[in-house]
Structure 1
Amino acid sequence: MKVLICDEPGRLRLIERPEPVPAEGEALVRIRRVGICGTDFHIYQGKHPFLNYPRVMGHELSGTIERAPTGSGLRAGQNAYIVPYLSCGTCVACRKGVTNACQAISVLGVHCDGGMAELISVPAANVVPVGDTPLDDAAMIEFLAIGAHGVKRGGIAAADRVLVAGAGPIGMAAAIFAKARGAHVTVMDLREDRLAFTRDALGADALLPAGDAAEAEAAAATSGDLYDCVIDCTGNRAAMQRGFGFVGHGGRYVLVSVVRDDITFSDPEFHKRETTLLASRNAQPDDFAEVVRQMQAGRVPTAALRTHRGPLAAGADLFRDWLRPEAGVIKAILEV
């Protein structure tokens, strides 16, 4: 089978590998679409802190089931998406049902080889049929589920004023699912084009340029109350620390972003506001199901989010092109 492999930073090659042989309890899936995310670009650029090369990337996956184990409820010919988080099932987090925080989690395309290949074999429990959902949309479910999980962690309700910091794909996903809960959503970013997209395509209620005056503008827009919930999706340490200042009294701060640095904040301000600080990692099965429900309800503008596409065989050239800021990529899809 054909596989797109990243041998080292900046080097992608299309190679041939033997087809995988499913182990007991695994399903064999023919990959049809692979969504490209920031993690893939970081791997390609050599910026990912927890990765060994060579690596087959790809964790936003949809395809068609080729073979499934007896009793799995899956059958050949079904279209499906793949949950890329392989959890151990026995650690303290898994025993609590928090499989997204498994102590020994292995993520396809990061800790082990992923789906930039014609076929992949994964545990049957990680393969979810999608019915009539198009394969293009199914390949976008994973990154959207990360945003949905952050919104769930923030306990967002219809009465909330929410600030989403960072208008990349994950921030856009958070804005979509906060809006789906009826919240008033403000999006903050440095890029004017991304802000305009969140307003025009995603229905953001307000925009906040992330310049020096952002705090004053936020206070003016909320009559000094600031925000009931702030969701950080910037991936930037300074921005994450700055975000504490946008949380209103009694508010929640959700860190979807993760960086290797220490994050610090003013303890007097933190206590004065009785801020609730929450981490949000990966996503859980109900988050994936929520994405599918909102897709079926027409609340996820997948066609607008999906800005670029191309064949797996051209992946090496496409990665170089898609990395250019002027390319305007929001979500790119490789077709297998």
Structure 2
Amino acid sequence: MTNRAVGLADLPLRPELVGEEPYGAPQLDVPVCLNVNENPYAPSDRVRAEIAEGAARAAGGMNRYPDREATALRTRLAAYLGHGLRLENIWAANGSNEVMTHLLQAFGGPDRSLLTFAPTYSMYPEYARNTHTRYLTEPREADFTIDPARAVAAIEQHRPDVVVITTPNNPTGTATGFDVLRPILDAAPGIVVVDEAYQEFVQPGVPSALELLPDHPRLVVSRTMSKAFAFAGGRLGYLAAGEAVVDACRIVRLPYHLSAVTQAVACVALDNADEMMAHVAELRAGRDDMVDWLTAQGLPVVPTSANFVLFGAFADRHAVWAGLLSDGVLIRETGPAGMLRVSVGTPEEMAAFKTSLRRILDEENTDR
């Protein structure tokens, strides 16, 4: 056995992976973590005890494979979503990341393409790369909305196999209405995925694309339990679609892809949905307060329907990000040039963010 260190350059890596780095928002041990759009409120003691009991029950059968169809979990997810959905309309996986990977394994691939509208979620090109799917983007408008006529023109030009629309969009928080979704659905030749990871945070009365499912058999609505559900550590994403789409995902999934423990604790979370999401209205209010406060500081702010705010623009956004970090406040350096994204946290976390950013802005004004 050789003692020579071996690096990636010494391995027969796929050509398209050469020079790539693993995805990763910074995971730093800081007092105020506002960079990955989590729900900042942990489950209550009672729910934690039920989660522990559920995990213990699952452990009693750990010598057996889990239910590979996740029947109990998918039944609960259908009940949570409503809209007349049944078990057969739901697919679940390890986070919405795996849900999207399953969709591209089934409907993307070599000589196929995915079209989305940039700027948007930074993982989409990685899903495409990893499934050998050509990644295409159409720019959003200056206000980060999607122009339906331009979207339809792009679809007619590229004839993509998969179209992905994120609403509310990440990192901008921009919502996309039915006036945009319907023409896209009518024009798309393949699957249309509406990624609603942040749907629970939209303003009251804003509809979900779930309402469009009955009339659009190639529509897929993707969700996650990582955000509003305060279940990021549980790693559970899911989709709602016609039965044929779910069957396609079942073809490409790995056997027993959801562990017995994951299924058990996710069922507990869904059984306690009201409590798990009890702070959503408070987080919406915190978001709106943050928009108002940032605007009052003279900073451009993108209107948002999610649990985060994209703001800027800074000549040196990294310096602002580093200045916040020096005060123990971690936000995300992402999105268009010069802009930063802050997740909505607890009142105490938001106060710490405001104090730190105000200090940085005051120092910048003094330097001028």
TM-score bracket for this pair, using the shorter chain length: 0.3 to 0.5
Bigger helix fraction = 2
TM-score, L = length of structure 2 = 0.34
Q: Which has the higher strand share?
A: 1
Determine which structure has greater relative contact order: mean sequence separation of CA pairs < 8 Å that are 6+ residues apart, divided by chain length.
Answer: 2
